[in-house]
Structure 1
Amino acid sequence: MKWDGERMTKSARNKTIDFDLDHAPQAVLEQIATLQPGPVSLAAIRDRSINGDSFQVVRQFPDRFADLALVDPPYNLDKRYDGLNFKHQSTGEYQEYTQRWIDLIKPKLTPTASLYVFADWQTSVALAPVLAANFTVKNRITWQREKGRGAKGNWKNGMEDIWFLTMDEREYTFNVDQVKQRRQVIAPYRENGQAKDWHESAAGRFRDTMPSNFWDDISIPYWSMAENTGHPTQKPEKLLAKLILASSNPGDLVLDPFAGAGSSLVTAKKLDRHFVGIEQSRLYTAWGVYRLQAADHDRSIQGYTDGVFWERNTGALQRRLNKKKG
Structure 2
Amino acid sequence: MVENLKVKYDFKLDTIYCGDNEIVLKRFPPKSVDLIYIDPPFFSNQQYEILWKDGYEIQAYKDRWEGGIEKYIDWMKPKIELLYRVLKDSGSFYLHCDYHASAYLKVLCDKIFGNGDNNIGRTYFKNEIVWCYSGREHPKSKVFPRKHDIILFYVKNKKNYTFNPEFGSYRPEYIKNFFKEKDEDGRLYQTQPNGKGGNGYGNKGRYRQYLDESKGIRINDWWDDIKPVWHRGQQKEHLGYPTQKPISLLKRIIETSSNVGDIVLDSFCGCGTTLVASKELNRRFIGIDVSPLACDEIATRIGYSKLNIIGQKYSISELKKMNHFTFQYWFVRRIGGTPNPRKTGDKGIDGKVDTKKELNCPIEIKQHNITRPDVDKFETVIKRNNKKTGYMGAFEFTKGAIEEIARFKREEKLTIIPIIVKDLFKNEPKKYGIIEKDKLKTVNISKFLKKQ
Q: In which range does the TM-score fall when normalised by the shorter chain?
A: 0.7 to 0.9
Alignment counterpart, residue 213 of structure 1, candidates 209, 217, 221? 221
Instruction: Name the structure, 1 or 2, with higher relative contact order (CA <8 Å, separation 6+).
Output: 1
Question: C-alpha displacement at 1:70, in angstroms?
Answer: 0.2
Alignment counterpart, residue 131 of structure 2, candidates 143, 146, 150? 143
Cα separation, 2, equivalents of 1:165 and 1:246? 13
* Contact 1:141–1:213, Cα closer than 8 Å, also in 2: yes
Partner SS, residue 129 of structure 1: helix
Alignment counterpart, residue 155 of structure 1, candidates 144, 161, 178? 144
* Contact 2:81–2:112, Cα closer than 8 Å, also in 1: no
- Structure 1 residues 198 and 208 mapped into 2: Cα distance closer, same or farther (>3 Å)? farther
Residue 3 of structure 1 corresponds to none
Residue 85 of structure 2 corresponds to 107
TM-score between the two structures when normalised by the length of structure 1: 0.72
* Contact 1:51–1:279, Cα closer than 8 Å, also in 2: yes
Alignment counterpart, residue 233 of structure 1, candidates 243, 261, 264? 243
- Structure 1 residues 198 and 51 mapped into 2: Cα distance closer, same or farther (>3 Å)? farther
Unaligned runs of 5+ in 2: 114-123, 190-208, 305-437, 440-452
Summarize the alignment of residues 153-302 of structure 1 with structure 2, pairs less than 5 Å apart.
Answer: 153-176=142-165, 179-185=166-172, 187=176, 189-192=180-183, 193-196=186-189, 197=209, 199=211, 208-222=216-230, 225-293=235-303
Partner SS, residue 75 of structure 2: helix
Partner SS, residue 73 of structure 2: helix
My pick for the range that moved more, 122-131 or 260-269, is 122-131
Cα separation, 1, equivalents of 2:162 and 2:32? 15
- Structure 1 residues 170 and 232 mapped into 2: Cα distance closer, same or farther (>3 Å)? same
Residue 3 of structure 2 corresponds to 33
Superposed CA offset, 1:149-171 (max 9, x none): 42612222101100010011221
**Structure with bigger gyration radius:** 2
Question: C-alpha displacement at 1:292, in angstroms?
Answer: 1.2
Cα separation, 1, equivalents of 2:90 and 2:154? 11
* Contact 2:167–2:215, Cα closer than 8 Å, also in 1: no
Partner SS, residue 216 of structure 2: strand
Query: RMSD of aligned C-alpha atoms?
Result: 2.5
Question: C-alpha displacement at 1:39, in angstroms?
Answer: 4.7
* Contact 2:3–2:9, Cα closer than 8 Å, also in 1: no
My pick for the range that moved more, 272-281 or 79-88, is 79-88
Cα separation, 2, equivalents of 1:210 and 1:162? 18
Cα separation, 2, equivalents of 1:215 and 1:121? 16
Cα separation, 2, equivalents of 1:125 and 1:183? 32
What percentage of aligned pairs have identical amino acids? 27
* Contact 1:148–1:157, Cα closer than 8 Å, also in 2: no
* Matching residue's letter, 1:138: K
* Matching residue's letter, 2:33: A
Cα separation, 2, equivalents of 1:33 and 1:72? 21
Question: C-alpha displacement at 1:218, in angstroms?
Answer: 1.3
Unaligned runs of 5+ in 1: 1-30, 298-326
Cα separation, 2, equivalents of 1:61 and 1:267? 22
**Total equivalences in the alignment:** 257
Partner SS, residue 183 of structure 1: coil
Residue 72 of structure 1 corresponds to 39
TM-score between the two structures when normalised by the length of structure 2: 0.53
* Matching residue's letter, 1:292: I
Summarize the alignment of residues 312-323 of structure 1 with structure 2, pairs less than 5 Å apart.
Answer: none
Question: C-alpha displacement at 1:120, in angstroms?
Answer: 0.4
Superposed CA offset, 1:245-269 (max 9, x none): 1110110000000001000110011
- Structure 1 residues 266 and 189 mapped into 2: Cα distance closer, same or farther (>3 Å)? same
- Structure 1 residues 172 and 78 mapped into 2: Cα distance closer, same or farther (>3 Å)? same
Superposed CA offset, 1:261-298 (max 9, x none): 0001100111111100011122222222222129x99x
Residue 132 of structure 1 corresponds to 110
* Contact 2:187–2:210, Cα closer than 8 Å, also in 1: no
Partner SS, residue 249 of structure 1: coil
